[in-house]
Amino acid sequence: MSQSLANAGPAAAPTAEMVITGDLRRPARLKVSDLLAWPQHTAQVAFECATSGVRHHRFTGPLLYDVLTDAVPDFDPRRRKERLRFLIAVSGADGHYALLSWAEIDPDFGRAPVLLAASLDGAPLDRAGSQLVLPQDRCGARYVSGVEVVRVDGRPPVPAAAG
């Protein structure tokens, strides 16, 4: 064994990454530690989990709105109605996903304080991956753990073929 390998210590644990993609001018690939570049918000939440009852947690991280605004969605921010057609799909490592509308997180509309959490109860989520947190939800079904992809989509719905 070479000296450099002997002194290298244990292999570093893999760090989770997420892809911010879709109808954006600046798509990105982010690690949980990258989320610390935005202003941090803390949410004390209580939500009902179908399998384990009421859960209480403290999440800290940036607003989803701030992260996605930096990715520059492909709309004119001055045109409110144009923003209304955008959807946000968030998927996690376990295959769970949730959909939100841009209007839910936009300060001109719902202004929901949706987070991309970088920590859970004070513990960093670097290895597990960020968590989508919707403090306004009574049910925890839209919380997504181990966020892998956040996709912003502004395509109009296509009508079904007349048959």
Q: What is the pLDDT of residues 85-97, one digit of tens each?
A: 999 999 999 999 9
Q: Is 161 part of any domain?
A: no
Q: What is the residue range of 22's domain?
A: 14-153
Q: Is 159 part of any domain?
A: no
Q: Is 9 part of any domain?
A: no
Q: Is 163 part of any domain?
A: no
Q: Is 62 part of any domain?
A: yes
Q: Is 160 part of any domain?
A: no
| Spatial distance between the Cα atoms of 36 and 61, rounded to a whole number of angstroms | 7
The total of structural domains in the chain comes to 1
Q: Is 2 part of any domain?
A: no
Sign of CA dihedral 67, 72, 74, 79: positive
Query: What is the average pLDDT score of the chain?
Result: 90
| 34 CB-side CA count, 13 A | 15
Q: Which pLDDT tens digit goes with each residue over 18-77?
A: 999 999 999 999 999 999 999 999 999 998 887 888 989 999 999 999 999 999 999 998
Contacts of 60 (CB under 8 A, 6+ apart): 40, 41, 42, 43, 115, 117, 118, 119
pLDDT grade for 160, boundaries at 50, 70 and 90:
confident
Q: Is 32 part of any domain?
A: yes
CATH number, residue 145: 3.90.420.10
| Spatial distance between the Cα atoms of 82 and 158, rounded to a whole number of angstroms | 17
